[in-house]
Amino acid sequence: MSRLLIIGAGGVGRVVVYKCAMNRHVFKDIMLASRTKSKCDQIAADVLKQVGGEPIETAAIDADDVPALVYLIKEYKPQLVLNVALPYQDLTIMDACLATGVHYMDTANYEPKDEAKFEYSWQWAYQDRFKDAGLMALLGCGFDPGVTSVYTAYAAKHYFDEIHYLDIVDCNAGDHGKAFATNFNPEINIREITQKGKYYENGEWIEVEPHSIMKPLNYPDIGPKNSYLIFHEELESLVKNFPSLKRARFWMTFGDEYLTHLRVIQNIGMSRIDPVLYKGVEVIPLEFLKYVLPDPGSLGENYTGQTSIGCRIRGIKDGKEKTYYVWNNCKHQDAYDETGAQGVSYTTGVPAMIGAKLILNGTWKGTGVFNVEQLDPDPFMKELNEQGLPWHEAFDVDLEL
């Protein structure tokens, strides 16, 4: 039976532990380790009370420290390490997995702390080392990337001979009642959405000014929302793995109030990631800002509304043009009632658990470094319906894009 080590006790870590505890026939032994052990203990206690079963073990770990990780992994002896700490820790945890002969997975690709740039090159460079060690590293198994990658693979497998146009649409129509808050780690989130927009067209990557392309799009059960073109990491791997794509874009909804706050944060220098000297101490403004913004994990209780994330795809089947839209809507309140976390943590944590389950029960196998869309989408799509993220599909509809 399997042992799983989860690293990172934030909003996503909370959901992963809850959902693993609800799938104990696969996850026999579970350990949650993170920088602050008290957060692991709190989650373990909540799971015991709400879900029951064998207690979750906990440990303190600094995941930037490879020898400490190696020690913990050798002590606990998991078959898989599920990394839901921050993207900065991806490479150290991959190194520790290689040193101990354990499979690896995560939900966000590596980015260096001193440069707001995320891309797969650093992790893809581990391909030969994981292959030679007979191990699997599964990258980006949250919702986006993750479910959006599986949706694309599912569409390509079942409904199209060639997919040509892909638009990933991510709407959060929730209201947490705060003037400004981010839905996951503020530092990572602000770094992501203040970058230039980028999309793929006819073999080239085209860069645009941040939030300079906007379209009102209609989301199921929600209605029209202003959606902005941004760069998102799964575009890089999807374009590589589906070479028939002529264009691939990513759209995310932002309210006017949110964008105004973001502009002010940037204009006053609070999104800077270089150190400034304050009273003799080096402070990174964005890291400091994280400490004064609401903790994303605290937003759940009064969060109303829902998310709607999906893929809008145009391509060819039997010589004819065809359109396809596949999506999930997730209510923040339902997520909170089940796990004590809001919808964005929930929609990330559930797919992460599913990926871990498919690796540990032997359904997803392979050696080397994989993006989610390279594996069979069918068992994952089945699990989504059973584990709280049911999907819907529509054919030959107006994609608006």
Residues that bind ligand NDP (CB under 6 A): 8-13, 34-36, 39, 61-64, 84-87, 89, 107-108, 142-146, 184-185, 188, 296-297, 344-345, 348
Contact 380, 354 (CB under 8 A): yes
What is the nearest approach in angstroms of ligand NDP to the Cβ of residue 48?
A: 19
Q: What is the DSSP letter of 42?
A: H
Closer of 329 and 345 to ligand NDP (Cβ)? 345
Residue 258's CB is within 10 A of a number of other CB atoms, namely 16
What is the nearest approach in angstroms of ligand NDP to the Cβ of residue 296?
A: 5
Closer of 367 and 387 to ligand NDP (Cβ)? 387
Closer of 62 and 161 to ligand NDP (Cβ)? 62
Hey, what are 164's tokens? 């040509």
What is the nearest approach in angstroms of ligand NDP to the Cβ of residue 395?
A: 26
Closer of 293 and 401 to ligand NDP (Cβ)? 293
159-162: long-range pairs with CB below 8 Å, 24+:
159/317, 159/322, 159/324, 159/395, 160/313, 160/315, 160/316, 160/317, 160/322, 160/324, 161/315, 161/316, 161/317, 161/318, 162/244, 162/315, 162/316
What is the nearest approach in angstroms of ligand NDP to the Cβ of residue 174?
A: 14
Residue number closest to ligand NDP, CB atom: 10
Closer of 109 and 314 to ligand NDP (Cβ)? 109
What is the nearest approach in angstroms of ligand NDP to the Cβ of residue 21?
A: 17
Closer of 160 and 241 to ligand NDP (Cβ)? 241
How far apart, in whole angstroms, are the C-alpha atoms of residue 115 and residue 180? 24
In order, the DSSP letters of 307-351 are EEEEEEEEEEETTEEEEEEEEEEEEHHHHHHHHSS-HHHHHHHHH
How far apart, in whole angstroms, are the C-alpha atoms of residue 40 and residue 31? 9
What is the nearest approach in angstroms of ligand NDP to the Cβ of residue 187?
A: 8
